[in-house]
Amino acid sequence: MLQELNISNFAIIDRLNLRLNAGFNALTGETGAGKSIIIDAMGAMLGEKIGAEFVRHGTDRARVEGFFEVKLNFDDERFRHLLELLDTNELVDPDDRPTPENPILRLTLGREITSSGRTVCRINGSAVKTDMLRDIGQALVDIHGQTEHISLLRVGEHLELLDQYANLSNQRRRLAELVGQLRAIRKEKHTLQRDERELVRRTELLKFQVSEIEAAALQPGEEEELQKERQLQNATEKLTGIADRAYRVLYQGYDEESGEGYGGGMATGRVRATGGRMGGGSGRAVQESLNEIEGLLTDLANYEPAFKQHNETVTDVRFRLEDVAQAVRDFRDRVEFDPARLEEVEERLDLIRALKRKYGSSIEEILEFYKTSADELNSIEHSGERLQELAQQEGKLLVKIGHLAAEMSAERQKAGKQLAAEVEQSLRDLRLLKARFEVHITQNDDPHGAPVKNSDGEVRRLAFDAKGFDRVEFLVSLNPGEPPKPLQKVASGGETSRLMLALKSILAAADAIPTLIFDEVDVGVGGRSGQVVGEKLWQLTNQGEHQVICITHLPQIAAFGDGHYNIVKKVEGERTATSVSRLSEPERIDELAAMLGGVPVTEINRLSAREMLQEISTWKKNARAARQNGKTLPEPETTTV
């Protein structure tokens, strides 16, 4: 429901804060007090077209903001669509997102209009386009006024309302699934039935692409391995020399004078031992030197035990260096420069680069392209068999769709007659005694449609979509002798509002829109009829499914309000401003008395107002009890005016 409405600098409204009741809210006030301006402001908040003329004179911008709290029904398709719309555009905080366990949706809708005519729309503080604000707004609020949009006048809504009235949501879901499968099959058929010359060209291209990739015999990770091998081949001579020198130092030693061995004459850090063991300028292998050191430390350990630990360290190093020497030798023996192999590697890398330019940025992407192309080629080459298979599947699905859509159509016909009877009775209650209402259901032939047998056993093929065969439109006649016609072409003014009220009172359970606004629904209504209007407005809220906001001039309607608000226009200095206040019980009695007999208010009118409130309060109590017990609602007592 709409919990709070804030308006600033909008037309003659300076600042207005309106906290609304969850049930039936009645707004009253003298003609010209600004009641319709509040409706205009709500329309702006809901994404309706608005201009700079609504910005209060002397200010640079007007603002309207509404705070909503709605209990979502996750079984309702329109609520699911609303939540999907909010999720897609990231307009709901994930922590506040409704769930089946906690289905409360909180939204703030706002609109700012500048004196230049530019508007800014926001949902939960995020700027959105006007179309988005309108889509969300239409899911939350329905304004029924003489110049505002009325959802029931949108023909596209009639099928939705009838299906909800007939409780066809499960059948519609199954039908939508079948139609989705059929569309996928027909799309594949269309792809296979393309122009023959185009198909030949496509086949030749696919064959070339598939064979080119097949001939390459690519392997995932191959390019990286080839690049490593090429790098190794290009550095073979250098690497062989380094490995050979390293191995000589470790195991063979070198001759400084001849330059053989690691470093030739540049060798440094040599250990020169006494006793002639490393004389003659010859460089000894590291392993040989370590062996000698190990023997020397063993001798020292006989005199100084601490050298035993040092000897163990040398032994460990010697063993580790043996592993290093072995690895260096293996590498040296393995590395061999092969010009032919290097050329093969270069050619292979060139081939891979060429394929990457055509089919993907990596071998993995090339192979994925190959798989997709091979599948398509296989599909084309076997298109005849596949087309036969698809045709069989299509035929079976059309039969299923025909059966289910025909069942739904029969349910709609039945529900349409029942709905028409209830609406006509409701219109009679509203003193439209000669009104006729009709749910008009039509179907169109289509040679590619779903098959349905008629009563004569003949098979018709009917056009369909995910909702079935039927096109539904509500028709009405308000004058004797006139045939039923589309709603928007028949009624206007008070008749339109009462017609909408009659429909809403019947379709309330089917209508998911939580807040309903009626602007001067009492035009052309008075006395006893006004009391029936008040009853029906209140009944819309009786199960807690709807919040009703009604601007009215009739006390018989206002007295049904669960909250009563008075709209007043005041002139302060040289400025005019409109204000709204919720009335206390004494203030409400005075307002109803003024509506009954004018001002000054008399005690007789106050007494009539009290009696009216008491009678309606008793009726409401009985109505709630009857509703809980599944009984027919009581008729209101006739109020003496």
- ∠ CA 517-501-625, nearest 5°, is 95
SS3 labels along 96-163: HCCCCCCCEEEEEEEEEEECCCCEEEEECCEEECHHHHHHHHHHHEEEECCCCCCHHHCHHHHHHHHH
* Residue ranges in the chain whose pLDDT is less than 70: 145-152, 195-196, 235-237, 239-241, 243-284, 334-337, 490-497, 508-510, 521-528, 542-544, 630-641
Distance between CA 414 and CA 168 in Å, rounded? 12
Residue 324 identity (one-letter amino acid): V
The closest of 393, 397, 386 to 193, measured between CA atoms, is 386
Query: Residue 492 in contact with residue 146, Cβ under 8 Å?
Result: yes
Question: CA separation (Å) from 447 to 113, 372, 443, 450, 464?
Answer: 52, 35, 13, 8, 11
Longest dimension (CA), the chain: 141
Q: What pLDDT, on a 0 to 100 scale, did the predictor assign at position 270?
A: 32
600: left (phi over 0), alpha (psi -120 to 50) or beta: beta
Distance between CA 384 and CA 192 in Å, rounded? 9
Output the six-digit token pair for 81. Answer: 């669509």
Q: Which residue has the tokens 């909800």?
A: 164
Output the six-digit token pair for 476. Answer: 């009405």
CA dihedral of 250, 256, 258, 264, whole degrees rounded to 10: 70
Q: What pLDDT, on a 0 to 100 scale, did the predictor assign at position 335?
A: 67
Distance between CA 178 and CA 404 in Å, rounded? 10
Q: What pLDDT, on a 0 to 100 scale, did the predictor assign at position 279?
A: 36
CA atoms within 13 A on the CB side of 272: 7
Q: What pLDDT, on a 0 to 100 scale, did the predictor assign at position 614?
A: 94
Q: What pLDDT, on a 0 to 100 scale, did the predictor assign at position 605?
A: 92
Q: What pLDDT, on a 0 to 100 scale, did the predictor assign at position 267?
A: 34
Distance between CA 282 and CA 260 in Å, rounded? 10
Distance between CA 474 and CA 156 in Å, rounded? 10
Work out whether strand 282-283 and strand 254-255 pair parallel, antiparallel, or are unpaired: antiparallel
Pick the CATH number of 1-146+512-583 from 2.40.30.10, 2.40.50.140, 3.40.50.2300, 3.40.50.300: 3.40.50.300
Task: Please state the pTM of the whole predicted model.
Answer: 0.61
Output the six-digit token pair for 435. Answer: 């009104």
